[in-house]
Chain A
Amino acid sequence: MSAAHAAGVVGASAVQVIAVAAGGLVLLGFMRKVRARLEGRVGAPILQSLRDVRKLFRKERIRPDVATWIFPAAPVVLVATVAVAAVMTPLITTQPAMSGGSDLFVVVYLLLAGSTLLALAGMDAGTAFGGMGSSRAVMIGALAEPALLVTILALSVTTHSSNFPAIVRATLANPGLIASPARLFAVAALLIVIVAESGRLPVDNPSTHLELTMIHEAMILEYAGPDLAMVTLGEAMRLALLLGIFVNLVLPWGVATSTTALGLVVGLGALVAKIAVLGGALAFFEVFMAKLRLFRLPELMAGAFVMALLGVVSGLVVK
């Protein structure tokens, strides 16, 4: 590997992390704006989420009296694990840093590490809501996990590898894969799982503070100031990353196969456009959707799981 190439790889990954971090917050604002307009409101400016985070960073740090080091550590680990996942995911180029070890399985477990620590932090303050949120988040995570891993299997079966850049490269080389039944089923399952993992409707309502229904907000109720800013940032990054993974599996066009400056710019533009369309679509459908009852969620997850399984089976049958 030449020095120029190495610099390109590192630069590409840096762009990916920054795109996910800044883009995630803008994406949140954009989705809120779309929703507001559809509901007939003006809505807050798109950049409001960025301003909110900046405001939170300036506030005082407050720690609950019984909290331990888990409490301040969880937001840090959340942001860090999503950032590492963003480094190795082929978002704007199929040659990100650490691409040799960029396995879909690794990406999933990196995200799991962040959410697990956040679930622990929910119980750290010793309040009722934290435990409630953690307990529900962990249940949804446990049910989403099988669907997610079988989806990965379905995606990998056609390319004989779970290496993420290899999957994207294979799709670019052979666009017919996108329309293969295995990929279609897998992508449908992935969409449900992504909605669940990022806590959007109908699994969780990100804009509610209603005690009996909230999941994620209950878990992070005790966070304030810079720690809350980190949690918000981490969650926004996670949403952008998950949507980015999704769009690059469905429509990989635009992803650079090199690390040249031009390729990166095109890749970045394509990624932003694709995520904006998908995010807008999600926000559009959220307007017409109510949150599902907590104990109806297993049915949703079972549906995703069955679709993923169908994806694997059809991938094996339809060659």
Chain B
Amino acid sequence: MTAGSLVVIGAALGAGAGIAGAAMPKRSRAAAAAVLIWAACALEATTAVRVLATGHDVALHTGKLLPFTGINLVLTPLGALFVLLVALVAVPATLFGIGYARHAMDSRSAASAYPVFVTVMLLVPAAASVATFMVLWELMALVSLALVLVDHSRRAAARSAGTWYAVLTHVGAAAILTAFLILAAHSHGQTFSDLELHARAMAPDLRALVFLLALVGFGSKAGAVPFHVWLPKAHAEAPSPVSALMSGAMVALGIYGVVLVGDVLLGGGPMWWWLVVLVLGAASALYGSLHAANNQDLKRLLAYSTTDNIGLVLLALGASGVFNAIGHPRLGALSLVAALVILLNHALFKGALFLTTGSVQVAAGTRDLDDLGGLLRRMPQTGALFLVAAASICALPPLNGFVGEWLLFQSLLHGAHLGNTAGDIAIPIAVAALALTAGLTVAAFVKAAGIGFLGRPRSTGAEAATEVPATMRAGAGLLVASCVVAGVVPMVVVSSVGRAVRAVLPHTGARSLVRGVNLQLVGMKGALAPTILALAMTVAVVAAVALRRVASRRPASRVSEAWGCGRELVTARMQYTATSFAEPVQRVFDDVLRPVRDLDVSHVAESRYMVESATYRLTVEDRVELTLYLPVIRAVRRWGQAARRLQPGSVHRYLIYGLTALVVTLVAVAVLA
């Protein structure tokens, strides 16, 4: 069987899963679709692994399915890496979805849209012509929009999220399409290989325009600031497996687009392009992590943290382009490796975090951190999974988040003395952005894990929470296990990424960039030894436990009430809430966040000095949304109101419009002729 037919069968299985989701009875719907989705993922992933291993593209062309242009699919090593990424998130998310479907996402439309979403995402990285790519890209947007709107009848917030997402994704799609059309107009065809062949001969201004349009278009899908506003809305309202897929996989495809246009089709570019990407990345990372640290809705927090991680990826991508532009291809390749490793790692831990959050929402009925607490005792396995995934996103060794940040830091460090003025200014700032982001991420996730899972429950829902079904735990568990594996033996990830990068940037001058299990950088001083580090940490933990046991005379521990400042009863209300936990950080960054504080004090009728009740409200709004988007929305609404005056409902008026239009047309034709 050829590799091409595997792709086709995989796609057919995915479509079959969509039909199964629509046709099967409610009880078996999710499971039946899941089996077919897994089969599709397995087939596509097999092809992807083969492409990565051999380095040879798998091509497929059919003239029949799409009128005029036909369908062009070519799986390159870069595309194969993204197919694997999608499959890595989709398989556990689907497993999670079987249990989750008993609580939510059980409608026929959701069950049929979900498999299509997965299948289309598996195919997007293989698209090899403008028409194929745009059809698949739009299909992905529409199906995911349908999935965001699954709960629209019950939740007004879902409707609003859907609108934001639809508008932003289509503005992005328009920008992407324009970029591709400019490229195609200068080529003698619309396949990507034609585009690549002719793009290098285009005028520099036009190339820059294409790049910037693609950056806007793909950046809006990736959730980079200032196009990130749909993320906290759509990720929060979508069912959890869909959030995991959107945040882990779909957002990553936005980065795929930037690499595709910037590195593959345009073949790199001048330095300023990539400085723009780097600055965009640094801004996204800082803004995202700051809002993640200050958001109390667990899913919104995760969505902002996606912007943060995508920011780091863009930062690495920008650094890669800068290094390539100033003639250091090996460093450029290392930065690109760092970018893609961070992206893959993000897919794993963010997928796990969204899935466990879905479990929390099912079990406690809320995802507001201020109403959670004490879940680790009530849901020990889900809680432990969340904690490990949170440690991973905080880049704590020996988990996978750490490997990505180390690679990024190494590439920046070795790029810090190249003697190029712009680069020398950009690198320290990039490191500072990386570091502040890392610190704020820790603040955000210590808050999420500590307030959500430790201490006492802050609501009756959290009090009554119980562990979720086995499939949900297993789904999240698969992702967390991959986080551990990718952290302890990161060579499995780094070598595949290295193969993809070699295909994108063939002139690196080295056969490999990172060598051996120690992640020894080739041609630079630096090594990590993650496996030995993990081993040493395990030994040290065992030794520390032994020390405590040997040194203490009475190893059994007594359970006692915590100290309540002399009061007898410690209640949940005495604990710090998520809002109070985040308050110091929020106060430090007051000028950036500009939170809205409301204090309502009502007095007793007799005296102004006696307070009857006081209400304090603090909301941290998204400043980008308020200052950039709301004016536009208001203006559009005003134009809409103004346009209504043209349509008063009077037939006479419409007849006059028709007559005027006819006369103007005739006059115009007469004059032009």
A309 CB contacts on chain B under 8 angstroms: 428, 432
CB pair A139–B585 under 8 Å, yes or no, is yes
A127 CB contacts on chain B under 8 angstroms: 562-564, 570, 574-575
Do A150 and B544 form a contact, CB below 8 Å, given A126-B454, A127-B575?
Answer: no
Distance between A237 CB and nearest chain B CB, rounded to angstroms: 11
Q: Is B42 an interface residue (CB 8 A)?
A: no
CB pair B396–A76 under 8 Å, yes or no, is no
Do A149 and B518 form a contact, CB below 8 Å, given A156-B413, A163-B526?
Answer: no
CA distance A110 to B533 in the complex (A): 10
* Chain A contacts with B in 109-125, Cβ cutoff 8 A: 109-110, 112-113, 116, 119-120, 122-125
Distance between B116 CB and nearest chain A CB, rounded to angstroms: 40
Q: Is B554 an interface residue (CB 8 A)?
A: yes
B558 CB contacts on chain A under 8 angstroms: 60-63
A88 CB contacts on chain B under 8 angstroms: 536
Q: Is A270 an interface residue (CB 8 A)?
A: no
Distance between B295 CB and nearest chain A CB, rounded to angstroms: 15
CB pair B540–A83 under 8 Å, yes or no, is yes
Distance between A206 CB and nearest chain B CB, rounded to angstroms: 20
B455 CB contacts on chain A under 8 angstroms: 66, 123-126, 131
Q: How many residues of A are counted as interface, with CB atoms below 8 angstroms from the partner's CB atoms?
A: 86
- Of B396, B409, B414, B576, the most chain A CB neighbours within 10 A belong to B576
Binds A, one of B440-448, B599-607, B608-616: B440-448
Binds B, one of A95-103, A249-257, A274-282, A284-292: A95-103
Task: Choose from A103, A105, A150, A222 the contact partner of B562 (Cβ within 8 Å).
Answer: A222
CB pair B544–A222 under 8 Å, yes or no, is no
Task: Choose from B417, B557, B575 the contact partner of A61 (Cβ within 8 Å).
Answer: B557
Closest to B557 in A: A61
A153 CB contacts on chain B under 8 angstroms: 412-413, 416, 427-428, 431
CA distance A40 to B335 in the complex (A): 57
CB pair A112–B533 under 8 Å, yes or no, is no
CB pair B442–A68 under 8 Å, yes or no, is no
Q: Is A298 an interface residue (CB 8 A)?
A: yes
Q: Is B532 an interface residue (CB 8 A)?
A: yes
CB pair B406–A229 under 8 Å, yes or no, is no
Task: Choose from A64, A131, A157 the contact partner of B576 (Cβ within 8 Å).
Answer: A131
Do A109 and B376 form a contact, CB below 8 Å, given A63-B558, A141-B439?
Answer: no
B431 CB contacts on chain A under 8 angstroms: 149-150, 153, 312
Closest to A21 in B: B547
CB pair A142–B585 under 8 Å, yes or no, is yes
Q: Which residues of B contact A (CB under 8 A)?
A: 293, 373-374, 376-377, 383, 387, 391, 394-397, 402, 405-406, 409-410, 412-414, 416-417, 424, 427-428, 431-432, 434-436, 438-440, 442-443, 446-447, 449-451, 454-456, 518, 520, 524-530, 532-533, 536-537, 540-541, 543-545, 547-548, 551-565, 570, 572, 574-576, 580-585, 587-588
Q: Which 6 A-B pairs have the closest CB atoms?
A: A131-B576, A101-B529, A142-B439, A145-B439, A61-B557, A161-B525
Given contacts A80-B544, A84-B537, 9 further A-B contacts (CB under 8 A): A57-B552, A64-B562, A68-B454, A79-B540, A101-B527, A113-B396, A116-B396, A144-B439, A149-B438
